Structure 1
Amino acid sequence: MRARLLDATLELLVERGFAGTSTTLVSERAGVSRGAQLHHFPTKNALVVAAVEHLTERRGAELSAAFEELGAEPVATAADRRTRLRAVVEMLGDHFASPVFTAALELWVAARTDEALLAAVAPLEQRVGRETHRLTVAALGADESRPGVRELVQATLDLVRGLALASTITDDSARRRRILREWADVLDRELGKELTA
């Protein structure tokens, strides 16, 4: 029942935003009585804070699964490296343009002016950010001990996050793919330097 309530909360965050998500709508969507919902989560903030934790776990699991799907095959040639970089960057773009990211975005915006929500969201987002960075470094095969590489990885994550914002308003997938292909070429040039240095 708890998982149904949390999943319903995330669905409503995506569909209606934070302001349009109410405990009544959540209990209806989850198919549980209002009393049962109140037993688990007596307030909207209690529900949303639990949903933040649930969302953090989901985002981490989805991202890990996406990286695992790419595999960890060694890159033997420059063409393999270019193909790998494009696949990693495209996967990140798709992940950040997903409904799970949209729900997270709703929580970020709400947390900006709600201290209790911010206290729950900020540490979880820091954890997600560190893990996403770590997974991206591994997937790119990047050596962060080299000057500028850490910044390239972070720029990649900032880019996909920013492009995901655009996709919340309109279907921006074609433009996103073109931009990410170009960025993958930048990464290929810059990370390729570290392999030949």
Structure 2
Amino acid sequence: MGAVTTPKQDRSRLTRARLLESAVTCLAERGWSGSTVSVVAEHAGVSRGAAQHHFPTREDLFTAAVEYVAEERSAALRRLPRPADTHEAVATLVGLFTGPLFRAALHLWVAASNEPHLGDRVTALEARIGRETHRMAVELLGADESRPGVRETVQGLLDMARGLGLANLLTDDAARRERVVTQWAAILRSQLTDSSQPADSPQPAD
């Protein structure tokens, strides 16, 4: 039997996927200004002509990259393992904001602030990812958002995690991050397991 050949459509799909993966990597490593179609094509190991066949312009490439990053981040949420305890849950959520997908998303945010054709798409997809991340955080923590203050506490955790991700862009601050994770885990254990009345609730009469 002769060698099995990859159908043209499959090769085209694989090339497109490589270009999108490379676009994400280049964004994370070089930022918007350093991520041209030529740079992405070289990183993907394809010709510029092949890249432009799939994405005629830089805007086409990175508009598709916005959707790719959003879907990959959604997939990462769906793959999160069930944590053994609150500390592991907090560490898992913080980890979402310290990897290459978050770095790429951050560069897309910066680009979208200056590129109107990306702005609406990035804003809409980030809103979706934000809702999914919050929902997953509630599930991982076993949080009951019907209780006063719990929703705000979960959102505060995610805001803190995003801040740690930003700090990680400049320097590896893993040691400080672990101390912060430990402290937030303690705060959450107290907040999520305290069954007493909130401090501002009316107290029963003697």
Shared fold, TM over 0.5: yes
Aligned to 2:143: 142
**Structure showing greater relative contact order (alpha-carbon pairs closer than 8 Å, 6 or more residues apart):** 1
Aligned to 1:77: none
Residue among 16, 23, 47 paired with 1:33: 47
- Residues 147-180 of structure 1 show CA distances to partners (whole Å, capped at 9, x for unaligned) of 1111011001000000110000000111011011
Q: Does 1:95 align with 2:96?
A: yes
Q: Offset at 1:120?
A: 1.3
In 2, Cα distance between equivalents of 1:174 and 1:131: 28
Q: Give runs of aligned pairs for residues 1-197 of structure 1, distance below 5 A.
A: 1-66=15-80, 69-70=81-82, 84-194=85-195
Tell me if structure 2 keeps the 8 A contact 1:13–1:106: yes
**How many corresponding residue pairs?**
183
Unaligned runs of 5+ in 2: 1-14, 198-206
In 1, Cα distance between equivalents of 2:114 and 2:47: 30
Tell me if structure 2 keeps the 8 A contact 1:70–1:87: no
Larger Rg: 2
Q: Offset at 1:114?
A: 1.4
Counterpart secondary structure, 2:194: helix
In 2, Cα distance between equivalents of 1:7 and 1:161: 23
Q: Please report the RMSD computed on the Cα atoms of aligned residues, expressed in angstroms.
A: 1.2
In 2, Cα distance between equivalents of 1:178 and 1:60: 27
In 1, Cα distance between equivalents of 2:135 and 2:76: 15
In 1, Cα distance between equivalents of 2:173 and 2:100: 14
Q: Offset at 1:117?
A: 0.8
In 2, Cα distance between equivalents of 1:109 and 1:150: 28
Identity of aligned residues (%): 49
Unaligned runs of 5+ in 1: 72-82
Q: Offset at 1:34?
A: 1.1
Aligned to 1:79: none
Tell me if structure 2 keeps the 8 A contact 1:149–1:191: yes
Q: Offset at 1:191?
A: 0.7
- Residues 117-167 of structure 1 show CA distances to partners (whole Å, capped at 9, x for unaligned) of 111101000000000000110111111111111101100100000011000
In 2, Cα distance between equivalents of 1:174 and 1:63: 24
In 1, Cα distance between equivalents of 2:87 and 2:187: 10
Query: Which structure has greater helix proportion?
Result: 1
Q: Offset at 1:63?
A: 2.1
TM-score (ref. length: structure 1) = 0.89
